Amino acid sequence: MSSYHDTRKLSLFSLLMVGFIDHMGVGLVYPIFAVLLFDTEAKILPADTSAATRGLLLGLLIALTPLIQFFSSPILGALSDVKGRKKILQFGLVMAISGYMLACVGILADSLVLLLLYRVLVGFSDGTVAVAQAALADLSTEENKARNFSLFSMALGTGFTLGPFFGGKLCDPHVSVWCGYLTPFAFAGVLSLLNLSLVWSKFPETRVIIKEVQFKMLEAFHNLAKAFRWPQMRILFMSTFFYLFGWAFYCEFAPLYLIDRFHFSSSQVGDYYAYTGFWYAISSGVLTAPIIKRFTPEQIFSVSLVGVGAYLYLLLLVDNPMYIWVHIPVLMYFAALIYPVATTLVSNMADQDSQGEVLGVFTSVVAFAVGISPLLAGSYVAGDSTRAVSGGAIAMLLGGAVYVIGRRLARPVRVEG
């Protein structure tokens, strides 16, 4: 019995480290894109490129990864039900390493095309988020599942805290002669290599019962359509979609808002993301625990959706950059409750043999929301960066309204493979 519990603890620790290192690698390059594409001295775009075009290309560059994740998540999630979690995690990390190597070449060659291809590879790799969540569900009971998903969110938030901070510093030539646009991509590749080594050597397989499934070329669209035919999940997916659409609307273009209104440098943008990541992590791992224990996931989800949208809108009233640091902790507290609780609700609706597939569908919905938002909003936000705040808040509030109203109409359902 002791050996069994030790194995479960090692598996949980390995998953937390996978999430931490993965999001640290993702966060490293997060502050770079807005600065790179709007830097008229950079050769990645002609100097006379308009702000609207730069905004459109920024949206495309940001959107590619989650849109590719939209396709890869349900496929990789279902594959992990068949082949096991470990093999699929390893495959995704190899794709990530290849993507970061391609990004380094793209920076050296001043090639936007290669950077777009890098985003495609990393997007495919990010489909393994569903696999990690399925492995976490394998290790969890009904009683501790929400807590474990919160710990996983804490690991992601901690990685994202350190990632943008170091990314902002590593791309700033004023910090060191070794720093520049290339440095964060190279460092992210090294982190992904370390992540692969960790999974290879320390992560025990959590998927024991293997079942047979058939795959289709358009599995992502097929599963997305299937998801919206599941009565209760339809409401959960739709509300989560609107929330994440709004979050991406704001978060992906926050650098433009901070640069336009408060004249932030790339290093300060990195500090901002590090600060938000810190409060997200500490909220997920510590501060939200009493709420998760006391209230049901359904209650937490509805209140948090409305709270995060309303509180984000208040950011428009901030006219002193010092007050941003006061505003962020409460915003991150609401945000830290939403994703792990939503993931718990989805997992609870699926049987044990369908965790990978159903969580893959959920991740596909998440990726579509995160991907389509910046793709549609690039030129719109570039014209007035305050739209990143107002548009994001409205979408989040819409998500809350969909869930509160729809929950009263939907009937419980349990999804079986």
Tokens of 197: 């080594």
Per-position DSSP letters for 227-281, written without gaps between them: HTTSHHHHHHHHHHHHHHHHHHHHHTTHHHHHHHHH---HHHHHHHHHHHHHHHH
**Exposure b/e, 203-219, CB count within 10 A at least 16 = b:** beebbeeeeeeeeeeeb
Phi (first) and psi of residue 310, to 5 degrees: -65, -40
**Exposure b/e, 368-395, CB count within 10 A at least 16 = b:** bbbbbbbbebbbbbbeebebbbbbbbbb
Q: Do 337 and 291 meet the contact criterion of CB atoms below 8 Å apart? A: yes
Structure confidence by residue, pLDDT tens digits, 309-323:
999 999 898 888 888
Q: Do 360 and 73 meet the contact criterion of CB atoms below 8 Å apart? A: yes
Q: Do 93 and 76 meet the contact criterion of CB atoms below 8 Å apart? A: no
Please check whether residue 414 lies inside any domain of the structure.
no
Q: What is the pLDDT at residue 227? A: 59
Number of folded domains that form the chain: 1
**pLDDT-wise least confident of 156-160, 201-205, 336-340, 384-388:** 156-160
* CA 171 – CA 255 distance, rounded (Å): 15
Structure confidence by residue, pLDDT tens digits, 157-207:
777 777 777 877 788 777 777 888 888 888 888 888 988 888 888 787 877
Phi (first) and psi of residue 350, to 5 degrees: -110, 150
* CA 124 – CA 204 distance, rounded (Å): 23
* CA 179 – CA 300 distance, rounded (Å): 43
Q: Do 73 and 127 meet the contact criterion of CB atoms below 8 Å apart? A: yes
**What is the average pLDDT across 270-287?**
82
Please check whether residue 319 lies inside any domain of the structure.
yes
Quick check: 214 pLDDT over 70?
no
pLDDT more than 70, % of the chain: 85
Please check whether residue 385 lies inside any domain of the structure.
yes
Task: Give the residue numbers spanning the domain of 224.
Answer: 2-201+217-407
Tokens of 49: 């490129």
pTM of the model: 0.69
Please check whether residue 208 lies inside any domain of the structure.
no
Please check whether residue 415 lies inside any domain of the structure.
no
Q: What is the pLDDT at residue 1? A: 46
For 375, residues 6+ apart whose C-beta sits below 8 A from its C-beta are 59, 60, 62, 63, 67
Quick check: 304 pLDDT over 70?
yes
Please check whether residue 172 lies inside any domain of the structure.
yes
For 294, residues 6+ apart whose C-beta sits below 8 A from its C-beta are none
pLDDT more than 90, % of the chain: 12
Nearest CA to 332 out of 302, 317, 312, 313 is that of 312
* CA 314 – CA 4 distance, rounded (Å): 49
Please check whether residue 207 lies inside any domain of the structure.
no
- pLDDT higher at 366 or 296: 296
Q: What is the pLDDT at residue 242? A: 92
CB atoms within 10 A of CB 12: 18
Please check whether residue 352 lies inside any domain of the structure.
yes
Tokens of 33: 């894109």
Quick check: 73 pLDDT over 60?
yes
Nearest CA to 388 out of 254, 232, 227 is that of 254
**pLDDT-wise least confident of 114-128, 154-168, 224-238, 273-287:** 224-238
**What is the average pLDDT across 340-347?**
85
Helix, strand and coil content of the chain, in percent to the nearest 5, comes to 80, 0, 20
Kindly report the CATH number assigned to the domain that includes residue 160: 1.20.1250.20
| Residue 320: DSSP 8-state | S
